[in-house]
Amino acid sequence: MILPPLFNPSNDMALAANLRQYTPPRHIQQMESQLASLALLWDEGPWGWSLATKQRYLHMGIPESQLPSDAWLARHRRLSSRQFAVEYYKKMEEDMPDERLLPCQARVATQPLPCFPYPFILKSLWSSSGRGNVVARGEMDVPTLRRVRKVIQEQGGIVVEPFYADKALDFAMEFWADGSATRFLGYSVFSADETGHYGGNYVEGQDELLQRISLPDDLLKKLTEYHCHQFSPLPYRGPVGIDMMRLTDGRIHPCVEINFRRTMGLLALDLYEKGMTSDQLLAGDAHHGFSAQVTEGRLSITFRP
């Protein structure tokens, strides 16, 4: 059975809650409702998997036999945690040392006052598009400390890593894994603010994106082959996006995030392949609420009250 496509970007928050009946914040509900037609741009399946996603499909009348098991979803939740990304990053550093790659300094902390040089960034174990991230440039105030303690209490820890103020470019590699082999789909280039809030993706061909990325071919090939090899044996079938960062000195942060779900970068690749590169409204209302559009070769999501 082919599963109906589903735009559910609240899925990372649903993974954090780990509940079958999960209700996202009201503004996220509004975004999912107003941008629901974005799902028509891919063939089948959800933006991301969780217990709550499975429950939504059951409510649609999809037989449970056609959906992932709870055991599979538990493993998927583990893969989707930033703790897994930190462990992956550390293994990458051991497996393929390269002075062009930043050393892994990220760790998972269980104390609200980590002994870490300023500035640093704190990231929830499950969240997306910068939600749940805090930049600490000095001693944190009481409300921020409360927020950090709450994340640690609810999720069992928080990721701490240096804040790279000299970021020059955000980019990603997009893959498709099927549980035995992994296929590289292409590069994506996007913008995000200092805490990771999504700003937009270029809808361009691979040659143009590679010019923007501006990295040696041998390094990109090395990274692509490594990720294909590492993702292939994982108990997961579907899209994988690994976010990276180029600094002003040319060094690369090779593992900012690993997204075991659809991403805006993958959507940008799909739009380019479909020839949807001219200015157009993709979903929502351009004058009120949430809208997704391509404007001057960039995919973005905006909100107008």
pLDDT digit string, tens, across residues 184-236:
999 999 999 888 889 999 999 999 999 999 999 999 999 999 999 999 999 89
What's the 3-state SS for 206-241?
HHHHHHHHCCCHHHHHHHHHHHHHHHCCCCCEEEEE
Residue 114: C-alpha distances to residues 195, 205, 242 (Å): 18, 42, 26
Alpha carbon distance, N-terminus to C-terminus of the chain: 39
Cα gap 10→128, rounded to integer Å: 8
Contact of 155 with 104, CB cutoff 8 Å: no
What DSSP character marks residue 103? P
**Predicted pLDDT at 70:** 97
Helix (H) or strand (E) holding 54: helix 51-59
**Predicted pLDDT at 118:** 87
pLDDT digit string, tens, across residues 101-150:
999 999 999 876 657 788 999 999 998 776 778 898 888 888 888 888 99
State the chain's maximal CA–CA distance in angstroms: 54
Burial of 288 (C-beta count, 10 Å sphere; 0-12/13-18/19+): exposed
pLDDT digit string, tens, across residues 251-273:
999 999 999 999 999 999 999 99
**Predicted pLDDT at 114:** 59
Of 271 and 1, the one with more pLDDT:
271
How many C-alpha atoms does 49 have within 13 Å on its Cβ side?
24
Cα gap 216→101, rounded to integer Å: 12
Mean pLDDT over all residues of the chain? 94
Of 55 and 112, the one with more pLDDT:
55
